[in-house]
Structure 1
């Protein structure tokens, strides 16, 4: 069962790994004022307890702005804090299995790199696709670049929303605005910005969403 209200994926903020909660909350709140529409909490190196505590704090903040919280990988954390959804990669639990574990209406996002993976993710119950890495990125060391044209192809072969991710910043975001994507996911373009609100606003303007 799909959500009746599909989220606005236009400017999707992914958190920086291991950022202190206080800094994260401050940046997220500022970025929302600039136009961020979805926030994903991504933590690879902290304990389950710390992940839960950070997710709980972030969920409380996002609820006050009616912004959906997506949890990266950890279905247990997503369920525990009542997040809007979970996002998984190709090396995580299979999307079909994840879909069975999630309650009706909870979002499932799946990372893909090629059209075939996108088609499979949609068939397995994904609500949206994260397509990348679109550009070279320093945020995720193991991220592989997509083939030229793959982003447009992925948008053509699925009916669910596609969010571009990977190295997206103010200098290149406009180049993907006509690819058919529902939005762009960014990390450092906002988290490392001197003014996260201005950075978010500019990104959204350049994307034309």
Structure 2
């Protein structure tokens, strides 16, 4: 199996809690607008329905270079042919997910505090999603937002512990905040409602991608 593409620049999460009806047309529009990675997050459907949706999303993404990840469920990722899995603190361990999926799929993790960032296992974990950065209505989060200062601290911990590990930021990120988030030291942003609830998901993705690309160029110049 060819190693899937992993580009965190503009990472979209979709699922029944975020999209009214079929997510496939919205994802297709968003990818044409510049989304670089897609995650299916489904906490309510049956396993069989999740596998079917994942297969349809995977088919829709064929030829785009955009990978599909499944939230929590390594079994669904394996059964559907998705490109990997994203894990939270209460899910399978990265090592357990890797044992199910093998070496050629993506395993990502959420890190919410410095201790979790220091615990990321190099060679098993492919990327880290840091947050929540800001308050959000897309997901119930018992932890207080870490803010931009917390994001900078977490990025530094990841850099020290796992040099070169790709990382993105999540929660409450929109066009007004995206540039500051990138400047805090991450490779991309993970969004839900900024695209799924936009009147025009294609245009929303285009606008966000332009902001993130410009912010990444500015950040790289600042580090040069």
CA RMSD in angstroms, aligned pairs only: 1.9
1:153 aligns with 2:183: no
Deviates more, 1:137-146 or 1:156-165: 137-146
- 1:121 is matched with 120
Instruction: Give the equivalent residue in structure 1 for 2:102.
Output: 103
Q: Deviations over 1:173-195 (max 9, x none)?
A: 12212111111000000001111
- The total of aligned residue pairs comes to 206
Matches within 5 A, 1:68-147: 68-123=67-122, 125-147=124-146
Report the 3-state secondary structure (helix = DSSP H, G, I; strand = E; otherwise coil) of the residue aligned with 2:119.
Answer: helix
Secondary structure at 1:152 match in 2:
helix
The superposition leaves residues 133-160 of structure 1 with CA deviations (integer Å, 9 ceiling, x where unpaired) of 1110000023523434221122222221
Written as runs of structure 1 = structure 2, the 5 A alignment for 1:168-183 is 168-183=173-188
1:173–1:59 distance in 2 versus 1, CA, 3 Å: same
- Provide the secondary structure at the position in 2 that maps to 1:177: helix
Go from structure 1 to structure 2 and tell me whether the alpha carbon gap of 1:102 and 1:29 turns closer, same or farther (over 3 Å shift). Answer: same
Deviates further, 166-175 or 95-104: 95-104
Contact 1:169 1:186 in 2 (8 A): yes
The answer as to whether partners of 1:71 and 1:85 remain within 8 angstroms in 2 is: yes
CA distance in 2, matches of 1:96, 1:151: 25
2:169 counterpart of 1:164:
yes
* 8 Å contact kept, 1:132–1:145: no
State the alpha-carbon separation in 1 of the partners of residues 41 and 179 from structure 2: 25
Structure 2: 5+ residue runs without aligned partners?
Answer: 217-224
How far the C-alpha of 1:125 sits from its partner, in A, is 1.7
- Match of 1:121, SS state, is coil
Alignment partners' CA distance in 2, 1:134 and 1:14: 16
Q: Which residues of structure 1 form unaligned runs of 5+?
A: none
Q: Is this contact kept in 2: 1:16–1:191, CA < 8 A?
A: no
Check the 8 A contact 2:4/2:104 in 1, yes or no: no
Say whether the 8 Å CA contact 2:135–2:145 is kept in structure 1: no
